Amino acid sequence: MKLRPAVILLLIFAAASPSLRADPYDLSASTYLGSAADGESVKGLRIQSNGVLVVAANLGKATPGGGTPLLLNGATATSGGVVMRFAPNGRTVLSVTRVAAEVRDLAIDEADNIYMSGPVQK
């Protein structure tokens, strides 16, 4: 059985701190997220004012960073809708929060509050 990568995310720090990049289009870091499941996807990526990368994705049972995810909104450890935070260098997972069966979009306001959208969890 051949496994296929489900989600590949390239993190480009075009809007990050100038100290992190020499050219606004240099690839600073990349990572593989997810598992062999179908239907996994990244739905949004935003950069907070402190350089922390926030990613909204639909993942299978994978937990990037290997830690225990925070569960919100009635989500379970296997709920697919995930909000992940990465260190500004893109190489360290700061947190994984499972929020729903699915996420569809991500936003961050001027105060760095994180908002996501998705269908109502039943």
Total domains in the fold of the chain:
1
Domain contains 35: yes
Q: What tens digit of pLDDT does each residue of 104-120 get?
A: 999 999 999 999 888 76
Closest by CA to 84, choosing from 59, 49, 109, is: 59
Domain contains 122: no
Weakest mean pLDDT among 37-41, 50-54, 79-83 = 37-41
Domain contains 75: yes
pLDDT of residue 29: 65
Domain contains 41: yes
Answer yes or no: is pLDDT of 25 > 60. no
Q: How far apart are CA 2 and CA 21, in angstroms?
A: 37
Domain contains 2: no
Residue-number span of the structural domain to which 101 is assigned: 7-117
Domain contains 1: no
Domain contains 44: yes
Percent of the chain with pLDDT over 90: 34
pTM of the prediction? 0.74
Answer yes or no: is pLDDT of 101 > 50. yes
Give the type of residue at 92: T
